[in-house]
Amino acid sequence: MSLQSEARIDLAAIRANVRELRGRTNAEVMAVVKADGYGHGIVPAARAALAGGATWLGVATLDEALTVRAAGISAPLLAWLIAPDQPLRAAVEADVELSVATGWLLEDVVAAAEASGRTARIQLKIDTGLGRGGVGPAEWPALVDAAAKHAAAGTVEITGIWSHFARADEPGDPSIAAQQKTFAEALEVAAGLGVDPPLRHLANSAAALSLPNAHFDLVRAGIAIYGYSPVPGEFGLPAGDDHARLGSRGEKAAGRPWHFVRAYLHHPKPKPRSPWCRSAMATEFRATPAISPHCGWPGGGIGSPAGCAWTSSWSMWATIRSRLGRTRFCSDRATTASPPRTTGRPLWTPSATKS
């Protein structure tokens, strides 16, 4: 049977992109492989990134962390999105480092460490302004003090302090300097409480490319290792593209809804008409979904929604790719030039000013 669609992943491009990042910093590089490696395959992407010079891997959930470990990958690994009742003991026993930003999670990690008979390795996260995870500056001293006491008892080892930029993809935004200041103050507070871990990290992909004074000991590269630049200017080699047999083709006015979730074609400046195409299995993903109070479903509705979930564009891309007919991993493609692309731009760009 002829396949209708497939995703082609260039692992050599991932290796080359990590090597390029390594050449731009004196810090270690953490390759972020959450959301199934941003839709590129978590295990192949992790192996390619490590081969390119990454020394750390980063994931969101413990399921992702344990998937990496089950594949036999033993590189240092940090997981940072941990809900209650997750397999903390299994994570501790698998030598997964855990991001801690709440008192309840700290106590749960301590309990998991005691149950496993091992010392849990943790990294403390301070919210410097992103508002997504991390303990606020007012509560920071209490968390650090509690973690320090558990470290003294031998149940945890504090290996890092970290945070995340909110708008590093907008160079010059005043929030960048404000977050750097808050992070520096958090480090001073921690040092005053006797916590001075070997790893301090704040820089995401955008900061890794544009803010060398924010690199500290490690930079976390997500979107950049897959060949897409989060800041103005091109970077790297695109590591994946989707191919589908064409099912339909047409034109639609910019700003008009398409598809059943009423996603909208977007341009930084309105254009009269914009080409679009869709197969029965895959759609070129260059749209911004409309968001409403009903969990992202436009227009509301009658009654209460049966389920709510927030997801990033890259997670949605991973979902789309999971429904493709096949994923083909290519590790021998030449990486001296970008693979051909029909659009001339990435399928998705995080800045609303890019088309």
Query: Within a domain: residue 149?
Result: yes
pTM of this prediction? Answer: 0.74
- The answer as to whether 219 is a domain residue is yes
| Of the candidates 294, 253, 247, 257, the residue with the CA atom closest to the CA atom of residue 270 | 253
Instruction: Give yes or no: residues 181 and 215 share one domain.
Output: yes
Do 117 and 169 reside in the same domain of the chain? yes
Q: How far apart are CA 217 and CA 220, in angstroms?
A: 10
Q: For the beta carbon of residue 80, count every other beta carbon within 10 angstroms.
A: 23
**275 within domain boundaries:** yes
Residues 221 and 72 in one domain: yes
Whether 266 is covered by a domain: the verdict is yes
Distance of CA 37 to the CA centre of its chain: 8
Residues 189, 140: Cα–Cα separation, whole Å: 8
Please write the tens of the pLDDT for every residue from 41-92: 999 999 999 999 999 999 999 999 999 999 999 999 999 999 999 999 999 9
Task: Output Rg (C-alpha) for the chain, integer angstroms.
Answer: 21
CATH number of the domain enclosing 184: 3.20.20.10
Question: Does the structure show a pLDDT above 80 at 237?
Answer: no
**One-letter identity of residue 180:** Q
CB 48 within 8 A of CB 11: yes
Give the H or E element holding residue 130.
none
Output the pLDDT for position 329: 61
Q: Which domain holds residue 16?
A: 9-226
pLDDT at 242 over 70: no
Q: Answer yes or no: do 271 and 298 share one domain.
A: yes
CA distances from 7 to 40, 168, 179, 186 (A): 8, 30, 38, 43
**Phi/psi at 278 (nearest 5 deg)?**
-150, 135
Does residue 266 sit in the same domain as residue 319? yes
Question: Coil, strand or helix: which one is 265?
Answer: strand
Q: Are residues 160 and 256 in the same domain?
A: no
What sections of the chain are H helices per DSSP? 11-22, 34-38, 42-51, 62-70, 88-93, 103-116, 140-153, 174-192, 205-210, 313-322
Which residues, 6 or more positions from 259, have their beta carbon under 8 angstroms from its beta carbon? 283, 287
Is the CB of residue 230 less than 8 Å from the CB of residue 350? Answer: yes
Number of separate domains in the chain = 2
204 and 95 share one domain: yes
| Mean pLDDT across the chain | 76
Q: How much is the pLDDT for 240?
A: 63
Between CA 16 and CA 20 the distance in angstroms is: 6
Domain co-membership, 221 together with 105: yes
Residue at a domain's end among 193, 226, 259:
226
| 124 and 68 part of one domain | yes
Regarding whether 255 and 221 lie in a shared domain, the answer is: no
Give the C-alpha separation, 64 to 58, whole Å: 9
* DSSP 8-state secondary structure symbol assigned to residue 224: G
User: Per the domain annotation, does 345 fall within a domain?
Assistant: no
Domain identity same for 20 and 59:
yes
Residue 177 maps to a domain: yes
* pLDDT grade for 21, boundaries at 50, 70 and 90: very high
Whether 150 and 296 map to the same domain: the answer is: no
**In DSSP terms, which residues pair with 252 in a beta bridge?**
274
pLDDT digits (tens, 9 = 90+) for 337-348: 333 333 332 322
Element (H, E) at 132: none
326: confidence class by pLDDT, cuts 50, 70, 90: low
For the stretch 244-300, pLDDT in tens is 555 555 565 555 554 444 444 443 333 333 232 333 333 333 333 333 233 333 333
Q: Which of 122-136, 222-236, 273-287 has the highest mean pLDDT?
A: 122-136
Residue 258 lies in a domain: yes
Domain boundary residue, one of 226, 250, 268 = 226
Examine the pLDDT at 204 and tell me if it is beyond 70: yes
Please report whether residue 342 resides in a domain: no
